[in-house]
Amino acid sequence: MITIKSRAAAVSGIAAALLAGLSVTATAAPAFAGNFVSYVSSNSGGANLRECPNTGCRSFGWMKNGTRLDMVCWTDAQWVAPPSSNYGSQRWFKVWTTALGATGGYVHSSLVANQTAVPRC
């Protein structure tokens, strides 16, 4: 059971870590995340870059968590829910990445962190 005293101690410890310049997150975000660049962030450790916005479309390859993505546009297509995604949605992003040899394709929205504003495709 969390008491007020233990909660205060935890908050105090987090504040001390932040003041000391230490990270208090379980997993560190990629270095470029502070520059508002989008990147792969999946509960499964990565994401497929697909030829079209559908899990049945050909995959150009697997991108690990932290892979930088340049957002191009968004579209609504196939609904995808966990465990194939972090959350249920029909939103997909058309992206560009150099991780797979300067390739463009589609990634489900739930697998993209630090999403930047882009127009509809």
Please give the class, per CATH, of domain 29-113.
Answer: mainly beta
pLDDT digits (tens, 9 = 90+) for 40-68: 999 999 999 999 999 999 999 999 999 99
Answer whether 0.85 is exceeded by the pTM: no
Query: Hey, where are the domains in the chain?
Result: 29-113
d(C-alpha 56, C-alpha 36), whole Å: 30
Backbone angles phi, psi at 73, to 5 degrees: -165, 175
What does the pLDDT read at residue 103?
A: 86
pLDDT digits (tens, 9 = 90+) for 88-108: 999 999 999 998 887 899 999
Quick one: what percent of the chain has pLDDT higher than 70? 70
